[in-house]
Amino acid sequence: MTTTAEACVEAYLQEQAKQQPVDKKTKKQRAALRKQVEALFADDALLLLGRAQLSEINAAGKYALPLSELAALPRLKSLLKNQDGEALIRAALEDSELVSISDACVERPLAQDLVQQYDAQLRRHVSYIFSDDGLQSCPPGKLRSMLDEDENTLFLPLASVVDIKKIKELLKNEADKVDACRAAIDAAEPGTLICRVEDHEQGPRVVRTQDLPDEIWELLESNPAGGRAVAVTNIRGKDAPALRLAFAKVGTIEAVELGEDERGAPTASIIFDEELGAIRAVEELNDEDNWRFGMRVRLESGMAPSAARKAAGLPPRPKEKKPQFNERCATEGSSRAAAPPPPPIPVVPVPVIVEEIPRAGSAQARLFEGRIVQVRLHPAARRQVQGRPRVF
């Protein structure tokens, strides 16, 4: 049984231990731990938990994680370095203004409605896509693909909206991403959002509700061919028939237009009948490795071939199978595989004139049947054997 004196002594020793100076290495370790733990409890991190868990946090009024669970996280294990993780985390969070420790748990009290913040952030990302600034940053080909059937407003399928990078990151813990995104858009007050969700026979889609400004219409009309056109540079004097012949192997060509860039170098714009032809032209005929003589081919829409395939609903490009080691040895040669023998040199009979000379003083002298002779080609065969191996 602990007496009052022993308890006082123990409390005094603990107080003295707290007042002992902390070395620089320990301070640095505690600061790094505090930064990592506070990042886990920040608003941006909490919004990634999903609507269901955010509702539970709102009901509880706080967000808590056990110390043992925190100490087992991979991002903290590298800082703990096989030490007493819970004790180190306690010491690191003593001066934290964001979180506190209670009953072996790290807690952050919350007064704001996280579900409302979650919906507002989703709506902010979706609204930017259909805002004037967001539309002006889109390539003209992508804008044309967003036009509706009547060509009076822009839309995107809701399934495509939830695949956009920032929105997809917010919805990563949602079981049904499309329903969660639609619930956030529908929760907006009327008239406060630039877009809305409409039901369509091909699925729900997000439609811009405001009229398009003149700047957006100019972008839409600047590229009537949409994603079917490619821009070709470094054509090095090729005319329209030569370009049509070179690009015909990837798709049917509608038109070839020649022009010049700002430096006066010749360029070309090639329009295909289908988007797949333009995409294949960039994938197969763009020769950036040959920096001097290779043609540069790009989509006039500004999209990458993989993104254009996805936007057009086309399957991804099949990957080329790389030859295995044994196949490379058979085709390229290797120290482990014997190189094939060189082809035999063809022997062509050549008529010659043999003249006997009295002595061997010429470089063309040969020993022929025991005599020193000079060998020269017959005049009739001189023109026929130029470039062929000569055999005497």
pLDDT in tens, 11-37: 666 665 555 566 788 888 888 888 988
Whether pTM exceeds 0.85: no
Q: How far apart are CA 228 and CA 220, in angstroms?
A: 14
- Spatial neighbors of 353 by CB under 8 A, at least 6 apart, are 375, 376, 377, 378
**Count of C-beta atoms within a 10 Å radius of residue 301:** 27
Residue 391: predicted pLDDT? 47
- Spatial neighbors of 38 by CB under 8 A, at least 6 apart, are 96, 98, 99
pLDDT in tens, 142-162: 777 787 767 677 888 898 899
> Tokens standing for 320?
């080329």
Are residues 114 and 47 in contact, defined by beta-carbon separation less than 8 angstroms?
Answer: yes
Residue 363: predicted pLDDT? 46
Q: How far apart are CA 255 and CA 50, in angstroms?
A: 50
Nearest to 223 by CA among 283, 302, 280: 302
- Spatial neighbors of 375 by CB under 8 A, at least 6 apart, are 352, 353, 354, 364, 366, 368, 392
Strands 100-102 and 296-299: unpaired
**Count of C-beta atoms within a 10 Å radius of residue 189:** 6
Cα angle 6, 12, 14; round to 5:
105
Are residues 95 and 37 in contact, defined by beta-carbon separation less than 8 angstroms?
Answer: no
Residue 90: predicted pLDDT? 85
> Tokens standing for 342?
């060189």
Nearest to 231 by CA among 286, 182, 185, 177: 286
**pLDDT tens for the 392 residues of the chain, in order:** 456 777 776 666 666 555 556 678 888 888 888 898 889 899 888 888 888 899 999 998 999 988 888 888 888 887 877 777 788 888 888 888 888 888 788 899 988 888 999 999 999 999 998 888 888 877 666 777 787 767 677 888 898 899 888 999 999 888 889 999 999 999 888 888 888 899 988 889 999 988 888 888 877 776 666 678 899 998 888 888 899 999 999 999 988 888 888 788 889 989 998 888 999 999 999 988 887 888 899 988 778 888 888 777 788 888 776 656 555 555 555 445 556 777 887 766 656 555 555 554 444 555 445 555 555 655 655 555 555 544 44
Q: Which residue has the tokens 């690191």?
A: 92
Residue 125: predicted pLDDT? 92
Domains and CATH numbers, the chain: 21-111 (1.10.10.10), 115-220 (no CATH), 225-311 (3.30.70.330), 348-392 (no CATH)
Residue 351: predicted pLDDT? 60
**Count of C-beta atoms within a 10 Å radius of residue 180:** 20
Residue 382: predicted pLDDT? 57
